[in-house]
Amino acid sequence: MFENFREQFILNFIDDNRWQYLTNGLLLTLKISIFSIIIGIILGFIIAVIKYSHDNNGNCKILNFICDIYLTIIRGTPVVVQLLIIYFVIFGSTRIDKSFVAIIAFGINSGAYQAEIFRSGLNSIPRGQYEAGRSLGFSSNQTMVKIIMPQAVKNVIPALCNEFISLIKETSVSGYIALEDLTKGGDIIRSRTYSAFMPLIAVALTYLVLVMILTQIVKHLERNLRKNER
């Protein structure tokens, strides 16, 4: 049994340096996830502020309507379909880096979910905080920037970290546009060795370890935030 395991390990990972499919795929997965989460944070924050302003002051009616359409479409369709549409329809007639397309697609998708995270954070701040800021002579924008937003951002940090964890797993569909991410790397090894068990288990374990590390970071952040509240 041990000899068979050793032979399969050498066949799947050592021969022809096939382990590089996994390491290169992991780096690409992390690259797509990190840049996508940044785009998602920017989009989500802007949308959350627009909707918060509309809900509380009735401002930005047109922008709020556009945001509602965006949220409905993005949250109502699968991310893999969005990825295919952006790659084959929007950028179908151009030569463009596939990883860039993936970053845009996952960033747009993540932005819709982060918008709700930020909006819940803004809504968690008591209305009295806003009124207190206005009574001190701050404008509406100054109250948002100096009083509401700092508290809201602190409240949503754990949820944003969990969104990043989910995003890493969602990028596993990048292979649909022939990107050699972590999942695709394992699939390439499988296609070369005709052995599915070891490469796919390696991919699953890599995702699991990555998620466990990030989960521990989230728990550490939550503990620190609770200490600061005391």
- Better pLDDT: 205 or 129: 205
Instruction: Write out pLDDT tens, residues 5-63.
Output: 888 889 999 998 999 999 999 999 999 999 999 999 999 999 998 998 888 777 788 99
In the predicted model, is pLDDT for residue 230 greater than 70?
Answer: no
Instruction: Write out pLDDT tens, residues 76-88.
Output: 999 999 999 999 9
Q: What are the Cα distances from residue 189, in Å, to 21, 98, 212, 220?
A: 7, 21, 25, 36
- Better pLDDT: 57 or 101: 101
- Split at pLDDT 50, 70, 90, the class of 164 is very high
The letter for the amino acid at 230 is R
Q: What are the Cα distances from residue 217, in Å, to 142, 165, 226?
A: 32, 11, 14
> Coil, helix or strand for 145?
helix
Domains parsed from the chain with CATH numbers: 2-229 (1.10.3720.10)
Tokens (6 digits) for 172: 């596993």
Instruction: Write out pLDDT tens, residues 199-228.
Output: 999 999 999 999 999 989 888 887 877 766
C-alpha 112/C-alpha 227 separation (Å) is 31
C-alpha 134/C-alpha 147 separation (Å) is 10
Best CA proximity match to 58, nearest among 3, 140, 135: 140
What is the structure's pLDDT at 40? 95
Quickly tell me which residue has 């795929």 as its tokens.
25
CB 110 within 8 A of CB 167: yes
Task: Please state, rounded to an integer, the average pLDDT across all residues of the chain.
Answer: 89
Q: Which helix (H) or strand (E) holds 154?
A: helix 149-170
The letter for the amino acid at 116 is E
C-alpha 148/C-alpha 151 separation (Å) is 6
C-alpha 146/C-alpha 40 separation (Å) is 23
- Split at pLDDT 50, 70, 90, the class of 175 is very high
